Structure 1
């Protein structure tokens, strides 16, 4: 893969979580989350993006979301459970993405808000008007994903370097 070819980043927020009396990191998906995650996986499959790598927060709700969503994809990407995605700022998330090997064309990051929305907003130097409008309207709801593109090596990914090309939400 040439670094001059477009790359895609899918920012995928975990599905709706339950609020039992456990630590935040251990919160499982709620019933609605267990229904929405596979739907999001089907929508991601319909996008035609062949994912090479998944970077998933270690939190229970993100792992459960990814397990349900990835089962809907035609091919399962290599998955790395990354502690640094949990409760991360957009800058911290960019640092994780900067470490992605350059043989990866398309990556998905499964994480949390406000990080996912913040990262989409920070990376997007430009946006397809309809995608930006859908993201703005729904506020990056649970089980939603944004698709951004950029050109260059992963280590060059920085604020404003990408374009928001799509946004899907189960609530849109």
Structure 2
């Protein structure tokens, strides 16, 4: 692996959560979320990306989303549950990405809105095909994900560095 090869960042919003009488951090998935997460996992598998690392928020709904989605992948990446991803701003998420070890080629970050959508928009200096139009039309609903590529070391991740190459959301796009 060399930094000359494009790296991939997949930004994945957790599946639909329920609203029981628990703290926000402990909210579980709703029935729809438990159905959508494996579908998103199959769509992630369809991208053909072999993830080296998964960075997942510590919130119950993100952990549950990832647990259901990862079973659909042909290869299970190392998973790190990262407290800083919960309620993170795009800038805070960039700081987390900047710390990824250089031997990691492809990463998936499982997080929350508005941070995940904001980070996608900030990183995507360019777009291929109609990915940006589809994302603009759909927004970033639960279980959606965006695939970005960039060149260089992880510490160089900053606004505009990436190319949005794919976007998927349940129910179309």
Q: How does 1:16-31 map to 2 (within 5 A)?
A: 16-31=16-31
Name stretches of at least 5 consecutive residues in structure 1 with no aligned partner.
Answer: none
Q: Distance in 2 between matches of 1:136 and 1:142?
A: 15
Moved >2 Å (runs of 4+): none
Does the 8 Å contact 1:17/1:29 carry over to 2?
yes
Return the offset for 1:4: 1.2
Task: Write the deviation string for residues 82-115 of structure 1: whole angstroms up to 9, x where unpaired.
Answer: 0000000000000000000111110000000000
Q: How does 1:49-88 map to 2 (within 5 A)?
A: 49-88=49-88
Q: Distance in 1 between matches of 2:54 and 2:22?
A: 26
Task: Write the deviation string for residues 114-153 of structure 1: whole angstroms up to 9, x where unpaired.
Answer: 0000000000000124100111111111001000000000
Residue matched to 2:122: 122
Return the offset for 1:171: 2.5
Does the 8 Å contact 1:141/1:171 carry over to 2?
no
Task: Write the deviation string for residues 9-57 of structure 1: whole angstroms up to 9, x where unpaired.
Answer: 0000000000001000000000000000000000000110000000000
Aligned residues: 172
Name stretches of at least 5 consecutive residues in structure 2 with no aligned partner.
Answer: none
